[in-house]
Amino acid sequence: MLNLNIILISFVISAILMLAAWISSRRMQRTRLNQAEIERLKADIISMIEKVISDVPVARKPTPYTFLINRRPGFPTLGKWLMGLAWLPFIATFVFAGVYGQNPKSGAPATNTPVKTAITTAATLTSISIKNTAMATTPTGITNEPTALPGTWSATGSMNTARGADTATFLPNGKVLVAGGNNYSGALNSCELYNPATGSWSTTGSMTAIRSNYTATLLPNGKVLVAGDGIGGIGGFPCELYNPATGTWSTTGGMSVGRYFHTATLLPDGKVLVAGGATSSCELYDSATGTWSTTGSMSIDRQACTATLLSNGQVLVVGGFYSNGYLNSCELYNPATGTWSTTSSMSTARAFQTATLLPNGKVLVVGGGTSSCEVYDPVTSTWSTTGSMSIDRQAFTATLLSNGDVLVAGGISNSSGILSSCELYDPTTGTWSTTASMSTAREGPTATLLPNGNVLITGGGNSLSGALNSCELFASPSVP
């Protein structure tokens, strides 16, 4: 029940305000007050209210009323303002009840969260809105707030160099290596390290060759192998190894064929399979010897395809493009035999799509010049359609979150240009939901899942700013 003293106080304040409103209305009929009289009337009202409130023995007094009448309105509206104010004590009574009410059974202070009042200042102060965040009768865990977006973005440190079409690799020491890329003026060889603990970047050793649209693979020994480049598929540049312990690069064996927009997959035996890149040929890198060897070729030339290591040890290569346009065909590589075999084709041809291995062992393929998505089942070697995104995307990122959902971010759309929007895929329902957008539209960024479940998005580019050095963090819905 409400405290009787509080109820009486609220009636007293209301009576004062209503009397002031009546007086102001009567005086308005006879004369027009000058500004000094208005200010004196305001001061008298505030003084009366504060005198009554000051007698209330409470730990925290309500917000002063002064901000409600500091806009100096013309006198014709003053009576209406005061009449509007007369209702505030009644509202305050319920606020006080939540803060100072007593538990009827134990006599202990109530623990319910107070109702938050938001005063909307419009043309007159009669526009008052009440926002309930947790009413006394609201069950635990249920609020009257609008449903929040599943995840949020926040800014983090910016790179020293703007870049896109680069690579990002999470290192065993907990840092993220970003290397090379393109700043819209040319390819880069500079590299940087992101420290998630501080949200800052530091420079590290540069590669010997400039590279973009290449691959970076974390090897079992902790080093990072970079292969290929985007300078017309030139094969003269050797591959390189980054040593996190020293922060330096060293050259290693070069591929027999120049590649760009190819794939690189770490196999269970520790070797790296490089496939496609304006060719159908494939090669294996042996980190123990630092040498390359040829292996079976795919049935068709591919660029901008995806390669996914399946739970059975085989590698699924999907889509891409070359002289025949976008592809819907798919192939499987068997490391035990070093050979390729065709598997069922997707229903839609795609390039610059993403492929994500789901916890259930299936592969989710998203976008690639379309909003449609498909799921590959390795057990049956078949494809099935699943929910579509809200918009078509290419050159975007897809990240498997710690809660099993897949986050897609940014990219470029045929209909809407470069995107900042993001979506979440739920494998259990096969549906997509929108989530918070990045602060900056990006095509060709990188995405890295951090140990705390957050996702680091770096760089990319857009038509307004060119290459970007800004970075953002996505807080996974499963992360507190």
- The reported pLDDT for the residue numbered 477 is 78
Strand (E) or helix (H) holding 24: helix 4-30
> Rounded CA gap, 134 and 144, in Å?
7
Strand partners, 325: 322
Measured between alpha carbons, how far is 270 from 268 in angstroms, rounded to an integer? 5
Output the pTM of the full model. 0.69
- Contact of 227 with 215, CB cutoff 8 Å: yes
List the domain boundaries for the chain.
4-131, 149-198+389-480
Task: Say if residue 51's pLDDT is above 70.
Answer: no
Please write the tens of the pLDDT for every residue from 377-427: 999 999 999 999 999 999 999 999 999 999 999 999 999 999 999 999 999
Cβ neighbours of 408 (radius 10 Å): 26
Q: What's the CA gap between 438 and 460, in Å, rounded?
A: 12
Burial of 479 (0-12, 13-18, 19+ CB in 10 A): middle
pLDDT 10s digits, 344-378: 999 999 999 999 999 999 999 999 999 999 999 99
406-409 and 373-377: which strand pairing?
unpaired
pLDDT digits (tens, 9 = 90+) for 463-479: 888 999 999 999 987 65
Strand partners, 315: 309, 333
HSE, side-chain direction, 13 A CA sphere, residue 86:
17
Q: How far apart are CA 186 and CA 203, in angstroms?
A: 19
Following CA atoms 456, 211, 216, 355 in sequence, which dihedral angle do they give, to the nearest 10 degrees? 70
pLDDT tens for each residue of 227-254: 998 554 444 568 999 999 999 999 999 9
The span from the CA of 352 to the CA of 305, in Å, is 6
d(CA 362, CA 425): 14
Q: pLDDT tens digit string along 247-295?
A: 999 999 999 988 989 999 999 999 999 999 989 999 999 999 999 999 9
How is residue 310 written in tokens? 């399946």
For 423-467, the DSSP string reads: EEEETTTTEEEEEPPPSS--BS-EEEE-TTS-EEEE--EETTTEE
397-400: strand order across its sheet: 397-400, 406-409, 422-426, 431-435
